[in-house]
Chains A and B, each alone.
Chain A
């Protein structure tokens, strides 16, 4: 009698084949171009979708298994951190302002990335990239959820974290990360993948998830460190997807090269401008510092990114032109950014301050060419005035860049004493830019950016007051009305750290935790 032999289990490669390509089909009663209307209009030519190889061959069943394991660990640590009053073990309450900025500025981007990858995945006629995009879309919504959970511990105790979703669509500085992602998700699916999958994930997010998250650990924030490292293990897969996409597109047709190069140039610059927030978080907002923004840029962009672009040279891809401008800005970026938030500290959902003397000495050592000459005198003047009860709050609204939407705070490449002004006349109207790169991005697609929702202009048009506000009544206070529209409570969520409720509560609670009073 013949023995029944159990059928051999499928190998990883076969299983992936069956669970992805095997589920695809050729349409018979609809035209393929009607099902995939976004597949060709960007000019990208794909001749053989089956050439796409998913580098991780991840299937849904494996995804649940790995991620559930990671989530259990993550939430165990977050729970332990919450139950142990971990918020009192951070270096000092100034640190919590980085968490506020992260939750309001970055976490909504994870959610938008989820939507973007879901949309891009639906748009591709090939089964391989569709599945890879689906997996990344799931990762991104998990990242949004875990970040909100990790950071919500702080919301129980500190101000400014109460309404991040509402703020994301309204608050002036949050228009910078918001416009970045709105620009990406309203592009075609190929541009979206190059913008987020490659330029942002591969080239730039290391700067957020490695040195900044290490900074969280250095400052005693185990919750943030844990979600950061949990996300970073997915980022490795995202980065590989981003790189594979570029290689796949470039190998399909030589006509794709100039389109991809332009996208890389554009999105490296747009992503870098968003990272302005990270530069000041590292240099000014972490009470215990790990490395300077400049050092992080040198390691994660100039060295790592440089090696990547050398690798891509065989496809004809060149280092983005903006890298030269960025090299000139790295000595100045964090100082100029922090000065801007110090200026507008009455309209931010977090606190600002002048660094302590030893912090200035640290900055001076890290930035010997620029800090003492250009930035220390300004900060010391502000400190002297604040001590006299004359803390500087800039009450006039700034001019913004039409593309990146950041106030025109950046200086001429090579001259940190002169604001960089660029302008374009388009269809009888003037548009202004902070740099040659933002100007070029506008000039390539002006129709897209003439619609920019610039917070300052919207305020002046009367669109940023609570419903029913009458700005013509006597004694109308526009700033108060704008802060109400933001859901930002004056005197609690904003103004200087010195004297804030956060500062007082943290000191009192830490006192209770460490002393018998």
Chain B
């Protein structure tokens, strides 16, 4: 126990997987597009196919940006915990190895935001 305390100090994490009613959290950031101030947090079922994120979820979250319509998903580069990673669009989140509170980012080469400002 690292914490200095007068007695036993053990508490359950406030964000354990079993508290999300069957969903797990996934964080997603779009590199070079800080018009969106921070990466997003999503609750998804682990059985959801990865393709559904790209086709059904991301347009609602990132679609405001004029670059979004120009994305060539075949060229997108993916990162998990900051390291290069390749999702399989047809597999589920679980089968892609995505666990509760994992963070992924995608980079879209050639697209660098409003007037090239990474906004």
Report which of B31, B32, B61 forms a contact with A396, defined as CB distance below 8 A: B61
Interface band, chain A: 35 or more
Whether the Cβ atoms of B27 and A374 lie closer than 8 Å is no
A310, CB-defined interface residue at 8 Å: no
For chain B, the count of residues having a C-beta within 8 Å of the partner chain is 50
B14, CB-defined interface residue at 8 Å: yes
Whether the Cβ atoms of A37 and B6 lie closer than 8 Å is yes
A460, CB-defined interface residue at 8 Å: yes
A55, CB-defined interface residue at 8 Å: no
* Contact partners of A416 in chain B: CB under 8 A: 118
A232, CB-defined interface residue at 8 Å: no
Report which of B9, B42, B43, B61 forms a contact with A447, defined as CB distance below 8 A: B9
Whether the Cβ atoms of B1 and A417 lie closer than 8 Å is no
Which residues of A358-387 are within 8 A (CB) of B? Answer: 373-375, 377-378, 381
Residue in chain B with minimal CB distance to A44: B4
Which residues of B32-51 are within 8 A (CB) of A? Answer: 32, 34-43
Give Cα distance in the complex from A411 to B29, angstroms.
Answer: 13
Whether the Cβ atoms of B64 and A392 lie closer than 8 Å is yes
Stretch at the interface among B16-24, B68-76, B84-92: B16-24
* Contact partners of A409 in chain B: CB under 8 A: 37-38
Whether the Cβ atoms of A461 and B38 lie closer than 8 Å is no
Among A37, A38, A43, A448, max chain B CB count under 10 A is at: A448
* Contact partners of B118 in chain A: CB under 8 A: 374, 416-417
Which residues of A26-51 are within 8 A (CB) of B? Answer: 37-38, 41-43
Whether the Cβ atoms of A394 and B37 lie closer than 8 Å is yes
A432, CB-defined interface residue at 8 Å: yes
Residue in chain B with minimal CB distance to A374: B117
**If the complex has contacts A336-B37, A396-B42, are A453 and B9 also in contact, measured as CB distance less than 8 A?**
no
Whether the Cβ atoms of B101 and A429 lie closer than 8 Å is yes
Residue in chain B with minimal CB distance to A394: B36
Whether the Cβ atoms of B20 and A460 lie closer than 8 Å is yes
* Contact partners of B31 in chain A: CB under 8 A: 418
* Contact partners of B20 in chain A: CB under 8 A: 460-461
Q: Taking A377-B117, A445-B3 as given, write out 12 further A-B residue pairs in contact, using a Cβ cutoff of 8 Å, ordered by the A residue number.
A: A336-B37, A340-B38, A374-B119, A377-B119, A378-B114, A396-B60, A399-B29, A409-B38, A416-B118, A417-B34, A419-B38, A447-B1
- Report the 4 A-B pairs with minimum CB-CB distance, sorted nearest first: A378-B119, A417-B118, A407-B38, A398-B38
The chain A residues found within 8 Å of chain B, CB to CB, are 37-38, 41-43, 188, 336, 339-340, 343-344, 373-375, 377-378, 381, 392, 394-400, 407-409, 411, 416-419, 421, 423, 427, 429-432, 444-448, 450-454, 456-458, 460-462
The chain B residues found within 8 Å of chain A, CB to CB, are 1-6, 9-16, 19-21, 23, 25, 27, 29, 31-32, 34-43, 60-61, 64, 81-82, 99-103, 105, 113-115, 117-119
Please name 15 pairs of A and B residues whose Cβ atoms are closer than 8 Å in the assembled complex, sorted by A: A41-B5, A188-B4, A394-B36, A396-B60, A399-B29, A399-B38, A411-B34, A416-B118, A419-B29, A423-B103, A432-B103, A447-B2, A447-B10, A452-B14, A461-B21
